[in-house]
Chain A
């Protein structure tokens, strides 16, 4: 979502502003960014969904290519490390790790919405990939990651910035 907030920049949005600040910190070298091909897949799915609903029409393959290319170019120019999720899954027990992530997750009530937040299936996979690449933290706006325990900890961008 960090990429989506930045690419569909809404000047009034606090989250978009925070996403930009975080990406600028990566650019300055404060953080080293790591993504996997699974991140790209999620970005693509979310952007496609947004386009479909807002325009009320299908997204053409050419448009999908444009969406994908924008992120790939951004990753390249930002010096963000990109790992192939399939290769990581071969070398590491990613699915077993995601299962233990869910088991060790501590659900919590959201500060603003008052709803319960807990790690979902796709979130757990992201967390497991983060562990497999020895990442120190998962940068996110998503409160579902708050209860993540283990070698990787959540970097809640809404609180840090």
Chain B
């Protein structure tokens, strides 16, 4: 195998030499220039003026069949509502009766010092919150 390779290379060099001689017939070329052309042809170094183009990438995705998400074809907005919302910490359920009444003033009972609060005091908190 190695031998075959060397022989072929030798043959190729001979051909390249013949080719360059034909191309530049009548013009005097330095040894270095000739060697440079030979080297370029042999090893196919890309030229700065015409760089070798890479072969286009094969599109592997063309033949792939994407399964259709049934939720994506639901009416507009429904997909967002069902899929995108994270699970709540506490979910909805009917309220137990009398809850609103039971909790009315619950903190006033827990902190008796605040039993005499006025509407102005409550509005003051709102005003302070506005400063945020």
Contacts and interface: CB of A to CB of B under 8 A. Distances in A.
Interface string B82-126: 001110111111111101111111111011011001110111011
B132 interface: yes
A141 interface: yes
Contacts of A1: 122, 125-126, 129
B113 A15 contact: no
The interface residues of chain A, by DSSP majority, are classed as helix
A122 interface: yes
A83 B103 CA distance: 22
A97 interface: no
Interface string A100-133: 0000000000000000000011100000000001
A148 B115 CA distance: 35
B28 interface: no
A134 interface: yes
A12 B105 CA distance: 13
B3 interface: no
Interface residues of A, number: 59
B123 to A, nearest CB: 8
Contacts of A73: 103
B104 A32 contact: no
Contacts of B100: 6, 20, 23-24, 26-27, 78
B93 A120 contact: no
Interface in B53-93: 80-81, 84-86, 88-93
Interface of A: 1, 4-10, 12-16, 20, 23-24, 26-29, 32, 37, 42, 46-47, 49-51, 54-55, 63, 66-67, 70, 73-84, 87-88, 90-92, 120-122, 133-134, 141-142, 144
14 contacts: A7-B105, A8-B108, A13-B122, A16-B119, A27-B99, A54-B114, A70-B103, A73-B103, A77-B103, A79-B94, A80-B90, A84-B86, A84-B89, A142-B129
